[in-house]
Amino acid sequence: MPELTTGTLSIGEVSERTGLSVHALRFYEREGILANPVSRGAGGRRVYREEDVDWLTVCVVLRASGMPLPDIRRYTELVRAGAGNEVARLELLRAHRIRVLDQMAQLERSLDLVNYKVGIYEDILDAAGSPPDSPAPALGDRPAPPALGDRTAAGGSGVPREREHR
């Protein structure tokens, strides 16, 4: 491979730095996700700059947080257009922040349920004298069961169905 100009990176180096595959980098370029056009070096190979890595890192975080590609593309277009559209950028990011907060709340509810179920099985194993090699570490004070709605045992006992070993 020919030597790159100082301060430039190959697609392989960018892949390593961002965690994106070479295929994903090409896809992002085709989809208009990069803030600046990718230069070509000798032989037509893509040549990236540090700014490209910085921008791709932002895109990776936005994508990992659930931002759809069309929204990332729109954000990229706004950034590429330069100053004067900060209100539109802010609106896009605020809308995404609401979605992220909703996801976090859902994950918190999910974790509450998982912790509750872990506690149930720890109690069952403790009562049965769990084997010494059991990897069931104590969680400390167990939280109250998450809101399970009408998921109670038949007969209205108020005991969550999980207590019936389901």
Cα(88)–Cα(145) distance, rounded to whole angstroms? Answer: 42
Closest CA to 38 of 28, 30, 48: 48
Per-residue confidence (pLDDT) for residue 162, from 0 to 100: 47
Per-residue confidence (pLDDT) for residue 134, from 0 to 100: 55
Helix/strand/coil for 152: strand
Quick check: 47 and 38 in contact, CB under 8 A? yes
Q: What is the DSSP letter of 57?
A: H
**Would you place residue 7 in the very low, low, confident or very high pLDDT band (cuts 50, 70, 90)?**
confident
Q: In percent, how much of the chain has pLDDT > 90?
A: 70
Q: How confident is the model over 56-101, as pLDDT tens digits?
A: 999 999 999 999 999 999 999 999 999 999 999 999 999 999 999 9
Per-residue confidence (pLDDT) for residue 154, from 0 to 100: 40
**Inter-axis angle of helices 50-64 and 11-18, to 10 degrees?**
40
Helix/strand/coil for 49: strand
**Would you place residue 42 in the very low, low, confident or very high pLDDT band (cuts 50, 70, 90)?**
confident
Task: Tell me the one-letter amino acid at 155.
Answer: G
**Would you place residue 144 in the very low, low, confident or very high pLDDT band (cuts 50, 70, 90)?**
low
Per-residue confidence (pLDDT) for residue 105, from 0 to 100: 97
Query: What are 121-128's contacts with CB under 8 Å, separation 24+?
Result: 124/165
Q: Which CATH architecture has domain 1-82?
A: Orthogonal Bundle (1.10)
- Residue 147 corresponds to which tokens in the numbers above? 């809101």
Q: How confident is the model over 92-134, as pLDDT tens digits?
A: 999 999 999 999 999 999 999 999 999 999 999 999 886 655 5
**Where exactly are the structural domains of the chain?**
1-82, 106-166
Q: How confident is the model over 17-35, as pLDDT tens digits?
A: 999 999 999 999 999 999 9
Quick check: 44 and 22 in contact, CB under 8 A? no
Q: Residue 52: exposed, middle, or buried by beta-carbon count in 10 A (0-12, 13-18, 19+)?
A: buried
Q: With the C-alpha atoms ordered 15, 51, 69, 60, is the resulting torsion angle positive or negative?
A: positive
